[in-house]
């Protein structure tokens, strides 16, 4: 299955909020050229919260079309209503994606019993491999390790994206879930340490703008070369902080625009473009990471 650097892909927008499919195709080509391991289409960074179902499915469909088998594609299927998550799953089923990524239901804070029932219902709606996604900073819910362990016994639940930043969870999850259950970091700032601790990959925001560098760091860490991984990681550490100076994906879309990857840093409301006061710090972090920036 997928290992290494996986991009949580941004969704480019036109001025009127429509998806910019021409730019989306360029982004897919960019990641293929740069050696990214896989693409997550319409996860949190892809603005899943503000894309209605029809747009959500169409973006994933087009990413699969543009990828044309040259890079693995993961489709986001998370929702805070189980029925909606099942609907997304059923509509993603025929698209030819390699896996689906489902965030824990947000805002309503289900119990472990509710989480297990939710994910089992989603998994039962498909044969496509499922990746759990634990991101308490956004959902107000931290999935217990024991819940992950129980869900790892479901045949097509094959991995978890852990965005807690707690590297100690790697060893605990490995012990509870076994060697075949894949562990992905969802926290760029601790990604290197996560991989060196035995993780399998990273679903990354920074990878949108430093794909080759981030992949090189991941491969060094996966091979156990801590010194090389640290050397490769060091120039990107400013990005890991400053790409979250406002809510993701606001800063990374602005950065992608400054690189010429997309024509603007436009987002769907209620998210708005990066505030002027944050431009300099993001720009400085980009330059520290040796990114060429348009004037």
Catalytic residue among 66, 106, 161, 184: 161
Q: Are 36 and 207 in contact (CB under 8 A)?
A: yes
Longest distance between any two alpha carbons in the chain, whole Å: 53
d(CA 213, CA 83): 39
Catalytic residue among 66, 106, 119, 133: 133
Q: Are 22 and 203 in contact (CB under 8 A)?
A: no
Active-site residue flag, 161: yes
d(CA 62, CA 18): 14
* CB-based contacts of 52, cutoff 8 Å, min separation 6: none
d(CA 247, CA 137): 11
Quick one: how many helices (H) and strands (E) in the chain?
Answer: 13, 8
Is residue 203 marked as binding?
Answer: yes
Is residue 157 marked as binding?
Answer: no
Long-range contacts of 125-128 (CB under 8 A, 24+ apart): 125/86, 125/89, 125/90, 125/93, 126/89, 126/90, 126/92, 126/93, 126/100, 126/156, 127/156, 128/89, 128/92, 128/93, 128/97, 128/98, 128/99, 128/100, 128/156
Binding residue positions: 45, 203
Q: Which residue ranges make up the annotated binding site for pyruvate? A: 45, 203
Residues noted as catalytic: 133, 161
């Amino acid at each position: 299955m997928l290992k290494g650097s996986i991009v949580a892909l941004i969704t480019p927008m036109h001025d009127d909020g429509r998806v910019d499919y021409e730019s989306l195709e360029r982004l897919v080509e960019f990641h293929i050229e740069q050696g990214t391991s896989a693409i997550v289409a319409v996860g949190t960074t892809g603005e899943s919260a503000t894309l209605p179902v029809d747009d959500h499915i169409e973006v994933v469909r087009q990413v699969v079309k543009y990828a044309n088998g040259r890079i693995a594609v993961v489709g986001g299927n998370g929702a805070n209503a189980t029925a909606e998550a099942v609907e997304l799953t059923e509509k993603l089923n025929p698209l030819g994606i390699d896996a689906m990524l489902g965030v824990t239901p947000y805002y309503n804070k289900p119990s472990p019993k509710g989480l297990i029932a939710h994910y089992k219902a989603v998994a039962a709606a498909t044969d496509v491999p499922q990746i759990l996604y634990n991101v308490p900073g956004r959902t107000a819910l931290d999935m217990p390790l024991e819940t992950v362990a129980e869900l790892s016994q479901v045949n097509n639940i094959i991995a978890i994206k852990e965005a807690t930043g707690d590297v100690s969870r790697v060893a605990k999850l490995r012990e509870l879930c076994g060697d075949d259950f894949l562990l992905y970091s969802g926290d760029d700032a601790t990604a290197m340490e996560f991989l060196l601790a035995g993780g399998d990959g990273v679903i990354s925001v920074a990878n949108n703008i430093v794909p080759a560098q981030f992949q090189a760091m991941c491969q060094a860490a996966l091979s156990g070369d801590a010194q090389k991984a640290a050397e490769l990681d060091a120039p990107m550490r400013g990005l890991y902080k400053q790409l979250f100076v406002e809510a993701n994906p606001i800063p990374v879309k602005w950065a992608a625009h400054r690189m010429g990857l997309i024509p603007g840093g436009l987002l769907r409301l209620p998210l708005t473009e990066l505030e002027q006061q944050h431009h300099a710090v993001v720009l400085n972090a980009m330059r520290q990471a040796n990114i060429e920036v348009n004037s």
